[in-house]
Amino acid sequence: MKLIQFYRQLFLEAISIYEPVWDEEAVSFGYRWHKRNYPLREQFQIRDMDPEYPALMYSLILPEAYLETTIYEEIKRYPSKYELSIVILNRQVWLNATLQTDKLQDSLMGFLYQSRGELMNILDCIIRLPAETEV
């Protein structure tokens, strides 16, 4: 069993108990799940990016309106043990927290809950920017 398969099995076992609302999606570079029972869509991935250790990535998928906020500044200044990033894809903002599994100090659900908490903290701090017509 490859290490990425081991982490997939751990995640499947954990979500079957704690969050059975995740739906798995087939991808070529690892494993991906989506969660749609929340106002914001969520995604969890286990990616085979490094030859030795898979990466865990939790994402919040935000509507385009978040581009009109201070989200860029907040993610840059937020102190995190995860690699935080923003991707704009298909008129949506993907707010991501990533961690290589060799740096994992919690359970997979611990990573999921902590990264979700950190991204929600960032959302709590953003400010809507006024449109140029409002200035």
* Amino acid, single-letter form, for residue 29: F
Tokens of 59: 């994402």
Determine the average pLDDT of the residues in 37-66: 90
**Dihedral in degrees, nearest 10, Cα atoms 53, 21, 14, 107:** 50
What pLDDT, on the 0 to 100 scale, is given for residue 135? Answer: 45
Contact of 41 with 89, CB cutoff 8 Å: no
pLDDT tens digits for range 75-102? 999 999 999 999 999 889 999 999 999 9
Q: How many CA atoms lie within 13 A of 59 on its CB side?
A: 23
CA triplet 38, 18, 40: central angle to 5 degrees? 15
**Residue extents of the structural domains in the chain:** 3-127
CATH topology for 3-127 is Yope Regulator; Chain: A, (3.30.1460)
